[in-house]
Amino acid sequence: MHSKFKIFQRIVLVFAALFLVALYFMFMFYKSLKRIEMEIRVKEKESIAKLDRSASREVVMTVLEKFESDFGHIAESIVKSGKELEFIQALEHVAENRDVAQKIEMSFDASSKSIKPGEIGKIPLVLNVTVPYREFLRYLSDLDRFQYYVVIKSITITRSSGTGPFAGAKRPLQSGEEVSAKIVVPQTQVNATLQGYFYWKNGI
């Protein structure tokens, strides 16, 4: 019995260590996205600051076009009007590569109405995923290198019920039963909700 209790303790420690690793990856992922977002805002303000307050719309559009030309890699990462399906398919491809069950939710209709033609705005995005724990970290890494610019503001993680001996309701080890941490960890899945937004350009 004492030996089984030690095994259980070691399993708990493994889960605790993996959870800390996940928190570290999520923090670095969030920090990287915030840095890129800040760079975009600074460059945008620098360009607009060069304009005279009485500048015509034509001059404004010229400066914004130059901004996109100078930072083509950023412009390419913005979802353009009419290309929404390509964006969704790209997200689905990321999920398929990591065996992730992914549900995509976008507040597109309500948010896009406030974005004027030729302007760029934010579209809220929610990703609900169910994924093996270790693959979840790789999934986050793939989103960090995603071809489109997606900002993740918050991540909520819960362990999935019914996956692994200790998922869902807890139960004691049965007589003669042994559970290896190497078996439990890979079988454990998590449900996660990623909330954020992506940039969309109204090309109408």
Query: In the prediction, which pLDDT does 90 show?
Result: 94
Describe the crossing of helices 133-144 and 2-49 by its angle, rounded to 10 degrees: 10
Query: In the prediction, which pLDDT does 130 show?
Result: 93
What's the pLDDT band for 134 if we cut at 50, 70, 90?
confident
Encode pLDDT of 73-117 as tens digits.
Answer: 666 788 988 889 999 999 999 999 988 999 999 987 777 888 888
Give the residue ranges of DSSP H helices in 50-114: 57-70, 72-76, 84-97, 108-112
Q: Nearest CA to 188 among 179, 196, 197?
A: 179
Q: Note the pTM of the prediction, 2 decimals.
A: 0.55
Encode pLDDT of 173-189 as tens digits.
Answer: 444 444 444 444 445 78
Average pLDDT across the chain, whole number: 73
Query: In the prediction, which pLDDT does 50 show?
Result: 60
Domains and CATH numbers, the chain: 2-201 (3.30.70.60)
Encode pLDDT of 140-174 as tens digits.
Answer: 889 988 989 898 999 998 876 544 433 433 444 44
